[in-house]
Amino acid sequence: MITLKGAAVSAKIREEVTEALHEFPGAAPKLAIVRVGERPDDMAYERGALKKMENFGLQAESFSFPGDISDEAFQAEFKKINDNPDIDGILLLRPLPEQINERDIEHMISSEKDLDGISPENIARVFAGENEGFAPCTAEAVIEVLKANDISLSGKRVAVIGRSMVVGRPLSMLLLKENATVTICHTRTRELEKTCKDAEILIAAAGKAKMIDSSYVGADAVVIDVGINVDQDGNLCGDVDFESLNSIASMATPVPGGVGAVTTAVLAKHLVTAAKKRRGSRK
């Protein structure tokens, strides 16, 4: 079984970003990371994103707010960031605390700065199969992993486990755009094992530690693990029991070191695209 490492895919995206940076002789594109509260997974993602932006030669600034900030105060702060002409793109760490109306923020964020595809405009574009706009970075990262490893999608049977708006649903639409035959599985799916085993490409985004073992995987299938979970021993792990696939799958992504490493690279790519569009239109 071949291990599909995210670092190699991220390096390819970095080359594209570096090339595109020649078009920015002045200030490099700037990302704003917006965080409310101090959830450890948000903070880990933020650290990773900041490091990646620096590594790719891009600017990034964190805007953090107390976990008990009121809806009104957060909306006012978010508006300032959204309106700030020095900021080319925004990553909002979610979920937000209960008192904040996430829907209002999704409608407020400028679709041109919405690098993680949360605005209604960008969601509609993904579901319509358009080339414009931004898809959620993780969903697009899966496509990048497949393309970078020359895994064709046209006509393939692909099973996606998960139907969230962050991963499963938009990813299914991106796969469909590549002419894959997509089956979307979820908690109510009957005979999950059978559906998964029939897939030529299996993508797990359920958020359940090591739920997928070899009994879900068909011979020579490609397995992409989007899950980021913590196992009983406190170690980071995916939705897939990677070791168990050895004699059955042809290729699989590890966790850590797989899709997660590509997600922030896609974020960087989106930032450059957003900056090009915004700065170009200001000339």
Q: Does 211 bind ligand NAD (CB under 6 A)?
A: yes
Residue 125 annotated in ligand binding? no
Residue 167 interacts with ligand NAD (CB under 6 A): yes or no: yes
Interaction between residue 227 and ligand NAD (CB under 6 A): yes
Residue 138, interface with ligand NAD (CB under 6 A)? Answer: yes
Answer yes or no: is 164 a known binding residue: yes
Stretch that binds ligand NAD, among 28-36, 116-124, 147-155, 223-231 (CB under 6 A): 223-231
Q: How far is the CB of 138 from ligand NAD (least distance, A)?
A: 4
Task: Tell me how far, at minimum, the Cβ of 45 lies from ligand NAD, in Å.
Answer: 8
Residue 125: CB partners within 8 Å, gap ≥ 6? 132, 133
Angle of CA points 213, 215, 217, to nearest 5° = 80
Cα–Cα distance measured from residue 271 to residue 283, given in angstroms and rounded to the nearest whole number:
19
**Residue with smaller CB distance to ligand NAD, 28 or 159:** 159
Give strand ranges (E) for the chain: 2-3, 30-36, 59-65, 89-92, 157-161, 181-185, 201-204, 222-225, 229-230, 236-237, 251-252
Q: Taking the CB of residue 179, how many other CB atoms lie within 10 A of it? A: 12
| Beta strand pairing call for 251-252 and 222-225 | parallel
Nearer Cβ to ligand NAD, position 166 or 174?
Answer: 166
The helix/strand/coil state of 236 is: strand
Compute the distance between CA of residue 150 and CA of residue 80 in angstroms, rounded to an integer.
42
Annotated binding-site residue? 228: yes
Residue (88 or 116) nearer to ligand NAD, CB: 116
- Half-sphere exposure of residue 255, counting CA atoms within 13 Å on the CB side? 26
Q: Is 162 annotated as a binding residue?
A: yes
x/- contact string, 168-207, with ligand NAD (CB under 6 A)? x----------------xxx-x--x------------xxx
Neighbours of 238 (CB within 10 A): 31
- Between residues 28 and 166, which has the closer beta carbon with respect to ligand NAD? 166
Structure tokens at 118: 């949360």
Contacting ligand NAD (CB under 6 A), which of 87, 259, 265, 267?
A: 259
**C-beta of 162 vs 218, nearer to ligand NAD:** 162
One of 52, 163, 197, 210 touching ligand NAD (CB under 6 A): 163
Q: Which two tokens stand for residue 255?
A: 């966790």
| Token code pair at residue 200 | 């030529």
By the 8 A CB rule, do 134 and 122 touch? yes
- What is the C-alpha separation between 39 and 201, in angstroms, rounded? 33
Residue 10 or 273: the one with the smaller Cβ distance to ligand NAD is: 10
Residues that bind ligand NAD in the complex, under the rule CB under 6 A:
138, 161-164, 166-168, 185-187, 189, 192, 205-208, 211, 226-229, 259-260, 263
